[in-house]
Amino acid sequence: MDILSENCGFCGCCVSVCPENVLELEENGLNALDGCTECGNCVMVCPLGALIPEVE
């Protein structure tokens, strides 16, 4: 999963649906820690399309 940081609105939607708990919301940024399984949950709920599946 990749973060388009210019699209992120820091709402935290994605954090709540991450089963691996690898997303971390700071005041002005979203960090992805190691351990993403590409489940696509965060991609599905992001209101602004700031998360996109990683292209292999």
- Residues lying near another protein in the complex (CB under 8 A) are found at 9-13, 15-19, 21, 24-27, 40-49
In this structure, the number of other CB atoms found within 10 A of the CB of residue 19 comes to 8
Q: Which is nearer to another protein, 22 or 55 (CB)?
A: 22
Cα separations (Å) of 22 from 14, 31, 33?
10, 8, 5
Work out how close the CB of 31 gets to another protein at its nearest, in angstroms, rounded to a whole number.
Answer: 12
Q: Which is nearer to another protein, 9 or 55 (CB)?
A: 9
The CA-based dihedral angle spanning residues 23, 10, 12, 3, taken in that order and rounded to the nearest 10 degrees: -40
Q: Which is nearer to another protein, 27 or 56 (CB)?
A: 27
